[in-house]
Amino acid sequence: MTDAYVVGVDMIKFGRFPEKSVPQLGSEAALMALDDCGLKIQDIDALYCGNLGQSSGMVGQRILQQIGQTGIPVVNCANACATGATAFREAWTSVKAGLYDLVLAVGVEQMGKGLLGSAGGATGIPKEGLLGSGTMPTVFAEAGMEHARKYGTTFEQFAKVSVKNHHHSTMNPKAMYQIETPLETVMNAEMISYPNTKLMCSVNVDGSAAAVIASERKARELGLMGRAVKVRASVLTSDPWQERDLVMPDVNTCTRKAAAAAYEMAGLGPDDVDLIELHDCFATAEILHYENLGICGDGEAGRMVDDGEVALGGRIPVNVSGGLLSKGHPLGATGIANIYEVSTHLRGEAGQRQVENARIGLTHVIGLGSACGIHILEKAAA
Amino acid sequence: MSERPLPAVEYLKIPDDGDPYLEGSRCGSCGAVFLGERDYCSKCGARGGFSPITLSNTGSLYSYSIVHRSYPGIDVPYISAIVDLDGGGTVKGNLINIDPDPDKIEFGMPIEVVYDDALGRKDRDGNSYLSYFFQPR
């Protein structure tokens, strides 16, 4: 099988763009990714489009109806918050299989403000606030409190995740927010679902990101290896059975399973990874994934954030983009935006927030319900 | 309109004579416990062979969150709790009769399941509902 390379990748600055349509937002990132590698839509063999909010709305085709209807195959993907990563992986799969030489993956989302999560079923009476809460801040708070139960992780340690990621975002001009948030500010912000305060919840924003994936032969033929990023591993898992998962979605087991498979596929281990963009939809979630991804032992995640090991300049910087907490979380775009972030570091183009000498990076997303997507990327040998 | 309250969820059973209870099903092949009825087992893949079981009204607190912001019309704060029932089965619900204060709530604390009106909520036909709640035991 051929190796597959990211040759062009970009994202728009995340924000709120109610005046734009979903295909318009997607088109912007698609064209930016094409420009990043000097290609045109006419060069692309297939399009894989990730979008959740209009998952029955043929968003991929509507993007081509903006930027060029070349008649190529279009696959529209929806996989909760793993939607973008799933579109990217489908694109990668098609290149690995030898079907296509140049494919485009686009992730795009337009979101309202406010709480996400079940507000109740269609029949009977609403269950929210009657049988606990199904809001996302609560579901991830309960997952974090499971960690607190096992290891004594504190509210303050969860809050430090937000302090770190908000600090990182001050160096990322494409983040929704670039605001420092001291620990007291995070802990004293409006409590949403204990222990997640408002500043420990990801931001609902509009956004898009896109990547052009090429086979090795094509990347060489086009002279694009200089800035190319090799996809060393692409893994998608769903949630294996767990005894509590009917009432408590399990984001840990599917991540551990995906991480093990990704490290095996890439032929490396967590110690080889120079930076990670992981799914910090809530501050409580990030803590879980240090252990799930194997960058520390079980029970050590609180210490990791206390000691600054996961901050820029630390042993293994996590979410130097600002993460979903500060960069924003446009559901369908997130999985490709984190490919952009890691690729930018591997290319040495991340400016002020550059992780020095970054050679290998890992991206991780969770789609609740559940899906886990992990990609391991490596700076290509030119 | 029903003269008697309806169950808020299908796994809450209200017998004609006797106390309400939560019902689960146990897989005859692997022993996995589910809430309510099942056609297939998502743990082992068994097709059928489930036995209905009456879930215990006692258990212990596994995890929780204190919800301070919810949808309009829902009283906050309240405790969203995940409870492991004695003998199998995990259920989610509101933990009541305890302050919504992390210093007062202990992981593993003994819990009892109690049944009461579903906070006055009615469906569009005006039916009342019976729900379940957790309280410290």
The domain segmentation of chain A, as residue ranges, is 4-113+204-375
Per-residue pLDDT at A120 = 53
Q: Any idea what DSSP says for residue B9?
A: S
Mean pLDDT confidence for B99-107? 97
Which residues of chain A fall short of a pLDDT of 50? none
% of residues, chain B, pLDDT over 90 = 96
Q: Point out the residue among B9, B65, B121 whose CB comes nearest to the CB of A126.
A: B121
CA A20 vs. chain centroid, Å, equals 23
User: Please, what is the end-to-end C-alpha distance for chain B in angstroms?
Assistant: 35
Q: Distance between CA atoms of A225 and A234, rounded to whole angstroms?
A: 20
| Burial label, A105 (beta-carbon count in 10 A; 0-12, 13-18, 19+) | buried
Name the residue ranges covered by the structural domains of chain B.
6-136
Q: Do A149 and B93 touch (CB under 8 A)?
A: no
Contact between residue A301 and residue A293 where contact means Cβ atoms under 8 Å apart: no
Q: Do B68 and A246 touch (CB under 8 A)?
A: no
- Beta carbons within 8 Å of B73's beta carbon, 6+ residues apart: none
- Which residue out of B41, B43, B71 would a mutagenesis test of the A interface target, given it has the greatest number of A Cβ atoms within 10 Å? B71
Per-residue pLDDT at A112 = 78
A254 is catalytic: no
Q: Distance between CA atoms of B11 and A157, rounded to whole angstroms?
A: 38
- Which residue out of B6, B70, B109 would a mutagenesis test of the A interface target, given it has the greatest number of A Cβ atoms within 10 Å? B70
Least CA distance to B85: which residue of chain A? A244
Per-residue pLDDT at A238 = 98
| Residue of B2 and A88 predicted with greater confidence | A88
Q: Do A248 and B107 touch (CB under 8 A)?
A: no
| Max CA distance (Å), chain B | 45
Q: Show residues of chain A in contact with B71, CB under 8 Å.
A: 115, 119, 128-129, 135
| Residue B2 confidence (pLDDT) above 90 | no
| Burial label, B1 (beta-carbon count in 10 A; 0-12, 13-18, 19+) | exposed
Enter the pTM of the model. 0.96
Per-residue pLDDT at B40 = 97
Per-residue pLDDT at A34 = 98
Per-residue pLDDT at A382 = 64
Catalytic residue among A147, A166, A289, A329: A329
CATH of segment(s) A4-113+204-375: 3.40.47.10
Per-residue pLDDT at A118 = 62
Please provide the average confidence, as pLDDT, over all residues in chain B: 96
A81 is catalytic: yes
Q: What values do phi and psi take at A246, rounded to 5?
A: -70, -25
Tell me which residues of chain B have a C-beta less than 8 Å from any C-beta of chain A.
6, 8-9, 32-35, 42-43, 62-71, 74-76, 78, 80-82, 84, 90-94, 102, 107-108, 118-119, 121-123, 129, 131-132
Catalytic residue among A37, A49, A77, A81: A81
SS (H, E, C) A9-44: EEECCCECCCCCCHHHHHHHHHHHHHHHCCCCHHHC
- Answer positive or negative: Cα dihedral of A341, A345, A347, A349: positive
- Which residue out of A127, A131, A188 would a mutagenesis test of the B interface target, given it has the greatest number of B Cβ atoms within 10 Å? A131
Q: Do A247 and B107 touch (CB under 8 A)?
A: no
Q: How far A121 CA sits from the closest chain B CA (Å)?
A: 11
Q: Point out the residue among A135, A148, A243 whose CB comes nearest to the CB of B90.
A: A243
Q: Do A115 and B63 touch (CB under 8 A)?
A: no
Per-residue pLDDT at B70 = 93
Per-residue pLDDT at A239 = 96
| Residue B106 confidence (pLDDT) above 90 | yes
pLDDT in tens, A92-106: 999 999 999 999 999
Q: Do B94 and A131 touch (CB under 8 A)?
A: yes
% of residues, chain B, pLDDT over 70 = 100
ipTM of this predicted structure: 0.95
